[in-house]
Structure 1
Amino acid sequence: MRVFSSIPYVILLFVFFECFGQVKNIGLPELRNFKKNEYKGGTQNWGIDEDQNGNLYFANNNGLLQFDGTSWYKYTIPNQSLIRTVKVANDGKIYVGGYNEFGYFLANQKGKLIYHSVSRLVDRKKISLIDFIWKLHVINDQVFFQSFGRLYVFKNGKLHVIEAPSRFQFSFSVNNELYLQDMSKGLMVFRNGSLVALPGTRVFNNTEVWGMLALDNQQFLIATLDKGLFLYRNGVSKPWLNEANNFVLKNSSLGCILIKDKFIVINSVLDGIVICDKSGNIIQHLNRKKGMQNNTVLSSFIDNKSNVWLGLDNGITFVNENSPFTYFGFSYELSTVYASVFHDGYLYVATNRGLFYHSLSGPFKEDMFTLVEGTTGQAWNVQVIDGQLFCGHNRGAMLIDKGRLSGIMHSNGYWGFKKIPGRPNFLIGSNYNGFGIFEKKASGWAFKCVLSGIQTSSSTFQVDEQTVWLKKDSDVYQLTLSPDLSRFSNVKKYSSLVPSLKGIGSIQSINGKVYFQTQNRFFKYSYEQSLFYEDVKLSRIFANVPKFRHVVEDSQGNFWYTFNESIGALMKQHDGTYKNSIAPFSNLTGNLVSDYPSINTVNQNNIFIGLTDGLAHYDLSAQTDFITRPKAFIRSFSFPGDTLFIGNGKISKKGCNVPYSTNNVKFTFSSPTYENLEHVEYSYQLEGFDDQWSPWSTISMKEYTNLHEDDYRMKVRVRNSYGVESEAAVFSFTVAPPFYRHPLAYIFYILLIAVSVYLIRQRIRMKIRKNKYYETIEQRRLYLEREAKIRQEQYDLEKEIEKLKNDKLQIRILAKDKELVNNSLQVVKKNKILNGIINKLKDIDAETLDDSVKFQFNKLNKSIVKEVNTDKSWKDLEKHIKNVHFDFLKRLKEKYPTISPREMDLSTYLLMNMSTKEIAEIMNISGGGVELARYRLRKKLGLNKKENLIGFLMSI
């Protein structure tokens, strides 16, 4: 950063750059043009006014335009007529007048501006054509609508019509009274319901009066279209002969207004506007060449921040007069500015196009900066050393004298120059290849030599008693000059000041000493100890400022520093302390020349700052009310099917209900902050939804979707281009629950639950009774089943007992059968033995026996034969077996009908588990016969060899 000052010319600057209170006569204020495609209206804008919220209204060819700092809105009157005039009343009514129609807009219950016609009160039988309403005025409780032919007075809902004596031209509200121009009677004043002619004003009958204002309580300024400016006092009108009058005579006037009762804005047909003081001295002249989009100014208005709005023949222009900044830009032939300095009554400016200068012998109004011939190209620096003007240029080290190039001392490109302490006749300059030495001789400054020892090039260097310090990137080089100033005898490189801090931020000269800075901490170099040590006092001054890149002390003892793409200042106070100031320079953010910032401080009224597109002039004394706290507005609140325009008033900030079916809401924000609109930012928080404020953003709209039923508070803040935040604007609303979650629904649910519980209890009771009944029935059934089961079991038991008895009986029978069989077998054996005895007795010859023996023998034989023949045991046995096994024999016969009785007997004997021998004896057959009978029986029963015959018989 470079600071250049020229103390001898401070007094001169006070003379020529006096800032006349608010409007500055040096440089141009910030202009902002609004084109028709931006505000979506017609080209011409005939009237401007402002409401209590700061919203602006424009009488436009296509209707009424409203601007809230963020968005434009357009409203039309019933006949779609253009609107010529607009005025906002204290009660919020926005009165307008157009062709054949006049009335007012007023916000309805939803905040939407609705038009109400006043012209409907006109008796159209008497007045068929209203014509254009050119002017309207609100004075006390009366509203005046003025056309060429009549004056319509609206009061308490009634309309009174006053005919023009001849033909009205225009009307004006001055000192709370209404003045009109009549083409035959001159100027007239409306008093006590009638028009009174002003003496000495018929001189205006042959011209049009477009403006009228009070310079004091007794003197009026009257602006005519083509006859110039007049002063009216005590019944006498006379031309106001001055600079402003000459401008009007040349360019025609379309009206005038006052700025804070100090300055007069005069509209023109041909050449924009001029702002003059009350003596008629022009302070500013703004036209198309100076940045306006059109030279014909139809209307002008001063807003609540004393800024100027211009309604043009094509578009709208905002003039930021309430600012300590003015600018020299393209209209002054300036581009990127790298340095500036005052010298010999001229302001010199080094730019990328060359070195320019402007005389200080008069104010900056129309003159452009003049290029110093021969300096076309990149001019890096301009500075005064020992009364001589030096320019570091791409084409070499140049000397400038009275706006002319007096010589190029060295053809290498140079960044800048420094005096060598202790060597007053020598300069050192940093060039593209290193450094050069310049010597002051009797004939003036001349190039001496190029210093050897280093070829590093940088624009940032400082010189103290022993060393040249060069900063390149984040390193610093310590360059020791040889006694003959021909070379650097020693070169040492430093990459940090202390081990704990990496890199070196900047080097600068403060109070004649070289300081090294990194991370806002300042260090000096000790040659005795060969190290850097911190200046704690200076570091403490910068402890609470942002991390900066460059810092410099100006001629007033203030410190200027750059950070990011912005600039700030520590202003020195009377008590020696410093006050940090950043906000006033916020609108310069992004416009500073990177790595080449230029600050030229002459005094607190004149500070010049180099920009990428010109030069800014800053007046520190003019910022008393420059930065005001902005206001935030929630402009509108909308949800599907409805919109509330909160910014127009009338809308309560509490109690809006949103149906759950339309729970998608949208907010728009606004702020009547018209300076640097592109840097106005918003932050919002929806209490009940957002946990914290949103990041700052230039977006002035926010939507929320699918909000849950609840009470919400929308809060919005705005931050202007100077970093000043507003208080939060608040709007409360409630998202109603869906019908199934409405409080009445919950009451219904409670009742439904109660009824349901009651019905369920009743049903349960009935069910319990029914269950008890069925349980009783079931128990009875179970009892009967158990009883029947018991009976059945008793019966089965009895049967089982009977069966057991039968089985036992059967067993007994079988045992008896066995016993009988055994007995029968014994009988068979006995009979067999007896038959054997009989056979053996036959072998005895009885004849050989005596008679007694023979008798006894025969008797014995007969007795044995009788015993054998009369024994029926076998038949009884056979009968008994058939009786015992009758069922078996029956089943066997049914299953095998072809079985023989003999095979049935064999089956019975086998079932009785009799052995082959016993069967053979009973059946009176041999054992082989039994086996053969068994084989035949097995074959008849269809059994194979592996099947058990007895087991099969037992299964039948």
Structure 2
Amino acid sequence: MRKAFVLLLLAFLPLRGQELLPFVENFTKAEYNGDNQVWNVAQGNDNAMYFANNHYLLRYNGVVWEKYSLPNKTIIRSIFVDGDRIYSGSYKEFGYWKRIGGRMRYFSISEGKRLFEGVSDNEEIWKVFKHEGEIYFQSFNELFILGRNGVRKMRLSSQISYCYVIEGRVYAASVTQGILVLQGNRFVPVPGTDVVKNNVIHHIEKAGDQLYALTKNNGIFVQDHRGLQPWRHPLNEVLKSQVIITGKFIGPAKMAVGTAVSGLYLIDLASGDWINLNRQNAIKNNAVLFIATDKENDLWLGLDNGICHVEVNSPVSILTDNSGMLGSVYALSPYQGGHLLATNHGIFNSQKGKLQVVPGSQGQVWDIFYANGGYVIGHNDGTFKYVSGNYAKASPVNGGWQFMKSSYDDVYFQANYSGIAVYPDVNDMSRYKTLSGITKPIRKISQEKPGELWAADNYRSLYRVRYDRDFNTTKIENVSQNSGIVNDYGVKIFGWRGKTRFLINNAWYHYDQQQEKLTVDARFNAVFSNVSEIVPVDEAHFIVVKSGILYLVNASRGSYIWQLVPEKYYQGKIIFDNIRAYVDGNNLLLNLDDGFLSFRRNKGKTFLPKVTIEAFRKDQLTDSDIKLKYNEPITIHAVPEYFGFSRPDLLYKLDGEARYTRLKSGSVTLNNLESGAQRIDFFYNDGSRLVKIGEYRFRVGFPWYFSIWMILLYVAVLALIWFMYYRWNSFRYRQKLALREEEMRHQQDMVEMENELRIQEYEKHILELEIQSKSTEVAGKSFSIAKQGEVMDSIRKILDNESDLNKIKTDIKRAIRTNTIEKHEWEAFETNMKQIHSEFVSRLLAKHPDLSSKDIRLSIYLRMNLSSKEIAPLMNISFRGVELHRYRLRRKLALPQETNLNKYMMDI
């Protein structure tokens, strides 16, 4: 809402300062890394620009900025170029700079000469100039003159601001005596200049036969037959309040005036027209301290804060709206000495530095078409006419992207949001017809023959629309889809010289009438591959957009001559899907997103540009054919001769590479290069081919691991490895012999071990025999014990059968003597039992650790496969006791009923 109100207000309040201006390149102190004020500017014989920037001398060669300071760190007020020397003046100091090894070195002239003593104690050198082979260093009160015999001083009779050399004579601007001229060793007043007495004069220069004097507060004075007279120009009254600081003539017919209040004024003395560059429209600071020209006759401004390069001699002019009210320009047309602009904010009328919105036109405007003395406006809200300052709606058709006059039918076609409209009479656009059957938003149209239109959808597909004499649609064909082109988004149409081509998916097509489909245009693709759009200008020219860069192409005699429109003029400002080109006399107009660009076409580059190649290694200038260390970077500058429009757009190619790379900043840093000889070539596109304009050769050393010492080391290492290998083989051979001997000894040991095993087996067999013997002995003992049981049974029988006590005693004693078992026999029996069954006892206890000694004895007997009856006497218990003990043992062992106890013991 607020924006709409502001636009409405603009309909009655024109914006000032919106006019075509020369291109201005601003440099801030952040870019050149210096101080604020720039007191003096000069171009050196090496084409570099030099600046007296307070405490620094700045050097700019179009690629890099360099900064230097005096040994005493004082402010540099003035500089002057003479050959390869850059003279400079400072506080109680003057001398010269010289470039040595790619760096500026200072040589003092005044040091040690005691020139600044007495009345000269507080002098600053504000101007340096050359006259009759001598260099003059000027302060406000003295001149220090460097001649063949050293330095001499000249005391001035009155305080002056600056001296000027005009036609071989030295003029001085005196504060109280007006303009003085040097005669011999003194300054005398110039006749007819009394009018500028007691004025601070900030510039004196002659243009043609007239002398101009620019005063600080009283404007400009011009010399005629009566002497100096106030300049008769309307601007002079304006300049009196702007505080003139400096001035400069650009040729005999154009003057630049720098002020402290309103920036720079450029005045055409022939026509009387003037423009003002200020902080609101171009330059970054309104206080212009110094003006200089370069080899292109363009201006360099030393500002109170910053530096400006103003391309007054360039064929490019730009209208830029810094207020944001204009918006993006989608179409434009010359109009009554100015321009009519179609923007997303409405229609604007730009004339004589004033920009005014056309009342009622607010909103998105797509197209302007001049027809029969009026302008057809394709607006978001309808189609309008603008005739003699009157803006009115002519048709309800909205969103008119393209208005086109048919070359075959006496009608006008309009591509719009809902299709294609046909207007039989441009003077009465209320009568119109819509081509039926096509209701899509159509952005581009073209015609090759009557009864047929090519139409590109705003989103995808290309259509061929046929109609009869009454403009009734007879056929609509989706040509891109029917031709098998799947990716047909964003189709571009290029209609030129009666032939239409189509850019679809980065390839150019034309329609083959015989095959009735689109076919690739091989010849056109060979020249215009990888372009994003082509915009027709006239029958001989068109604009090509390639990689975001604009080229003006001149088609002549079957060849195409390309002319670069330098990117700096429109960088980041192109509306890529809505590029328009308009002819205004000899100027070509291109719309931008904040204004438009005017390009004078007869300003062509017909010369081969000069470029100086400089290479820096660790910030030190190096000669050609140097040798770099491996992986050591090198920075190469392609230093141009010019800074403005004549500055060439360069490409480079490293030796061995197939592709060319654009050199954007004039500098390239190379690293990670292969060893050996290298060469980088620089090329310039002259419009038809790439022309080589410079080269730099150098060599890259081998990496440290390929140096001579490392190679010797590698040889030594290889020799050591071979020696170690030889020693190792000898060692292995000896080792094999030793192993073979060891193997023989081992085999012998094996034989001995086998013999020992045989002996051990024999001894084992003997032991087994002994064990069997002991087992037999145990069995015998067991039998003896059994016999004792029988003795006991005999005794019991005697006791049971005999009643005679004496006889009983006698029989018992006899039986005991006969069958008594000795105690030592029992002990021997138990010992033998343990030795025989020790392993069994260990395994049994491992499985059943809770068994008692009595259980173990029973288990041994069971393992011996003795019956309960045989066990009973051995354990000195009854038969029933043995059975009971067997039962309890089975329970401890948790054996099932079907498991045989004797077999279980023998299996352990």
TM-score (norm 1): 0.63
Query: Contact 1:69/1:677 (CA < 8 Å) preserved in 2?
Result: no
Secondary structure, counterpart of 2:577 in structure 1? coil
Counterparts of 1:290 and 1:302, CA distance in 2: 21
- What amino acid is aligned across from residue 637 of structure 1 in structure 2? R
- For residue 66 of structure 1, report the CA deviation from its aligned partner: 1.5
> Could you tell me whether the CA contact under 8 Å between 1:243 and 1:282 is conserved in 2?
no
Q: Choose which of 284, 295, 316 in structure 2 pairs with 1:325.
A: 316
Contact 2:684 2:693 in 1 (8 A): no
Q: What amino acid does structure 1 have at the position aligned with 2:588?
A: I
Report the 3-state secondary structure (helix = DSSP H, G, I; strand = E; otherwise coil) of the residue aligned with 2:196: helix
Q: How far apart in 2 are the matches of 1:736 and 1:414?
A: 66
Q: 1:290 aligns with which of 281, 294, 319?
A: 281
**Hey, what does 1:199 align to over in structure 2?**
191
Counterpart of 2:541 (choices 555, 558, 573) is 558
The structure-2 alpha-carbon separation of the partners of 1:185 and 1:678, relative to structure 1 and needing over 3 Å to count, comes to closer
Counterparts of residues 408-807 of structure 1 (less than 5 Å): 409-410=395-396, 412-419=398-405, 424=410, 427-438=412-423, 440=425, 444-448=428-432, 450-463=434-447, 464-472=449-457, 475-481=461-467, 485=471, 488-495=473-480, 506-511=492-497, 523=510, 531=516, 544-546=527-529, 548=531, 550-551=533-534, 553-555=536-538, 557-571=540-554, 579-584=560-565, 587=568, 588=570, 591-603=573-585, 605-623=586-604, 629-634=609-614, 636-638=616-618, 644-645=620-621, 653=623, 664=632, 666-667=634-635, 669=637, 671-672=639-640, 674-675=643-644, 683=652, 695-698=661-664, 700=667, 702=669, 715=680, 717=682, 727-728=693-694, 730=696
What residue in structure 1 maps to residue 877 of structure 2?
Answer: none
Check 1:158–1:634 CA distance in 2 against 1; reply closer, same or farther (3 A cut): same
Cα distance in 2 for partners of 1:724, 1:735 equals 31
CA pair 544-695 structure 1, distance change in 2 beyond 3 A: closer
Q: CA RMSD in A?
A: 4.3
More off after superposition, 289-298 vs 60-69: 60-69
C-alpha displacement at 1:261, in angstroms? 3.8
- Structure 1 residue 302 and structure 2 residue 285: aligned? no
After superposition, the C-alpha distances for 1:769-797 in whole angstroms (9 at most, x for unaligned) are xxxxxxxxxxxxxxxxxxxxxxxxxxxxx
Task: Tell me if the contact between 1:555 and 1:602 (Cα under 8 Å) persists in the aligned partners.
Answer: no
Select the structure of larger CA radius of gyration: 1
| Structure 2 portions without partners, runs of 5+ | 1-17, 713-908
Query: Which residue number corresponds to residue 103 of structure 1?
Result: 95
CA distance in 2, matches of 1:663, 1:467: 64
Amino acid at match of 1:79: N
Aligned length: 687
- Alpha-carbon distance in 2 for matches of 1:480, 1:36: 63
Mapped partners of 1:657, 1:439: distance in 2: 75
Distance 2:414 2:659 in 1: 53
Contact 1:417/1:427 (8 A) holds in 2: yes
Contact 2:161 2:201 in 1 (8 A): yes
- Partner of residue 265, structure 1: 256
Shift of residue 704 of structure 1? 5.2
Report the Cα distance in structure 1 between the residues aligned to 2:699 and 2:525, rounded to whole angstroms.
47
**Is the 2:319–2:595 contact (alpha carbons within 8 Å) kept by the matching residues of 1?**
yes
Which letter maps to 1:231? V
2:139 pairs with 1:147: yes
What amino acid is aligned across from residue 595 of structure 1 in structure 2? D
The SS at the match of 1:460 is strand
Return closer, same or farther for 1:348/1:721 CA change in 2, 3 Å cut-off.
farther
In structure 2, do the counterparts of structure 1 residues 64 and 257 end up closer, same or farther at CA, with 3 Å as the change threshold? same
Give the whole-Å Cα distance in 1 for the aligned partners of 2:52 and 2:259: 18
Is 1:31 aligned with 2:24?
yes
| 1:64 is aligned to 2:75 | no
- Does structure 1 conserve the Cα–Cα contact (< 8 Å) formed by 2:480 and 2:518? no
TM-aligned CA distance change 1:186 to 1:454, over 3 Å = closer
Percentage of identical aligned residues: 21
Does structure 1 conserve the Cα–Cα contact (< 8 Å) formed by 2:650 and 2:683?
A: yes
The answer to whether 1:211 aligns with 2:203 is yes
Q: Which AA in structure 1 matches 2:319?
A: F
Amino acid at match of 1:632: T
Work out the CA distance in 2 between the residues paired with 1:176 and 1:465.
72
Does the CA contact (< 8 Å) of 1:272 and 1:286 recur in 2?
yes
From 241, 246, 263, the equivalent of 2:232 is 241
- Out of 345, 351, 358, which is 1:353 matched to? 345
Measured at CA, do residues 735 and 345 of structure 1 come closer, stay the same or move farther in structure 2, by a change above 3 Å? closer
Following superposition, the deviation at residue 607 of structure 1 comes to: 1.5
Paired amino acid for 1:396: G
Q: Separation in 1 of the partners of 2:385 and 2:605? A: 41
- Report the alpha carbon displacement of residue 553 of structure 1 after superposing the two structures with TM: 4.6
Letter in structure 1 aligned against 2:90? G
Residue 249 and residue 720 in structure 1: after superposition, are their counterparts in 2 closer, same or farther (change >3 A)? farther
Say if 1:501 and 1:675 are closer, same or farther in 2 by CA, change over 3 A. farther
**3-state SS of the aligned residue for 2:403?**
strand
Higher RCO, Cα 8 Å, sep 6+ = 1
- Displacement of 1:98 after TM fit? 1.7
How many angstroms does 1:43 deviate by? 0.9
**Is 1:566–1:586's contact at 8 Å kept on the other side of the alignment?**
yes
Which residue type is aligned with residue 620 of structure 2? L
TM-score, with structure 2 as normaliser: 0.67
In the superposition, relative to structure 1, how do residues 732 and 385 fare at CA in structure 2: closer, same or farther (>3 Å)? closer
**Residues 187 and 383 (structure 1 numbering): CA distance in 2 closer, same or farther, change over 3 Å?**
same
Q: Secondary structure of the equivalent of 1:288?
A: coil
CA–CA distance in structure 2, aligned partners of residues 125 and 74 of structure 1: 30
For residues 123 and 421 of structure 1, do their structure 2 counterparts lie closer, same or farther at Cα, with a shift above 3 Å needed?
Answer: closer
In structure 1, C-alpha distance between the alignment counterparts of 2:466 and 2:509, rounded to whole Å: 22
SS in 1 for 2:239: helix
Q: For 1:179, what is the secondary structure of its paired residue?
A: strand
CA distance in structure 1 between the aligned counterparts of 2:479 and 2:417, rounded to whole angstroms:
21
In structure 2, the CA distance between the partners of 1:95 and 1:74, relative to structure 1 (3 Å rule), is same
Q: Corresponding residue for 1:397? A: 383
Q: Please report how far the alpha carbon of residue 243 of structure 1 lies from its aligned counterpart in structure 2 after TM superposition.
A: 3.9
> Could you list the per-position Cα deviations for residues 152-203 of structure 1 after superposition, in whole angstroms to 9, with x for gaps in the alignment?
1112361111111111221112234322122344322335444343222233
Change in Cα spacing, 1:718 to 1:78, as seen in structure 2 (3 Å) is farther
Cα distance in 2 for partners of 1:704, 1:568 equals 32
Question: Kindly tell me: are residues 201 and 613 of structure 1, through their superposed partners in 2, closer, same or farther at Cα, counting changes over 3 Å?
Answer: same
> Which amino acid is 1:469 matched to?
W
